Amino acid sequence: GAGVSQSPSNKVTEKGKDVELRCDPISGHTALYWYRQSLGQGLEFLIYFQGNSAPDKSGLPSDRFSAERTGGSVSTLTIQRTQQEDSAVYLCASSLFLRQTVQRVQPYEQYFGPGTRLTVT
């Protein structure tokens, strides 16, 4: 079946411009994550959407970064007034959530998209 898709695969932009990165999760996956990975570095958590709950924005590095998820499916990560330090691979991942009890939901394994390589010149 179709996996997580991201577009564009590569984006080169000038410093100060705005960019939008898109993520199409696996159909039926209620959880969606955005990460950033600089060359040779680990995954940096940015934002997390789970169903209709308010997103966890605790990883966004500045107010230039924002994300939305429309209709519980497609998500767009927007970076305003890009800076050179924003250059990185932006990865999106989606997962199912498995409800274990009435009060608790359990995360399931994440499936990653191919990423968008952003270069700010």
Partner 1 sequence: QKEVEQNSGPLSVPEGAIASLNCTYSDRGSQSFFWYRQYSGKSPELIMFIYSNGDKEDGRFTAQLNKASQYVSLLIRDSQPSDSATYLCAVSVLVNFGNEKLTFGTGTRLTIIP
Stretch touching partner 1 by CB under 8 A, among 21-29, 60-68, 71-79, 106-114: 106-114
Residue 48 binds to partner 1 (criterion: CB under 8 A): yes
CA separation for the pair 14, 116 (Å, rounded): 16
Closest CB to partner 1 among 5 and 73? 5
Q: x/- binding map, residues 14-33, to partner 1, per CB under 8 A?
A: -----------------x-x
Residue 107 binds to partner 1 (criterion: CB under 8 A): yes
By the 10 Å C-beta count (0-12 exposed, 13-18 middle, 19+ buried), 113 is classed as: buried
**Smallest gap from residue 117 Cβ to partner 1 (A):** 9
By the 10 Å C-beta count (0-12 exposed, 13-18 middle, 19+ buried), 59 is classed as: middle
CA separation for the pair 68, 66 (Å, rounded): 7
Residue 65 binds to partner 1 (criterion: CB under 8 A): no
CA separation for the pair 72, 116 (Å, rounded): 21
- Judged by the rule CB under 8 A, the positions of this chain that interact with partner 1 are 31, 33, 35, 41-43, 45, 48, 50, 53, 56, 91, 95, 103-115
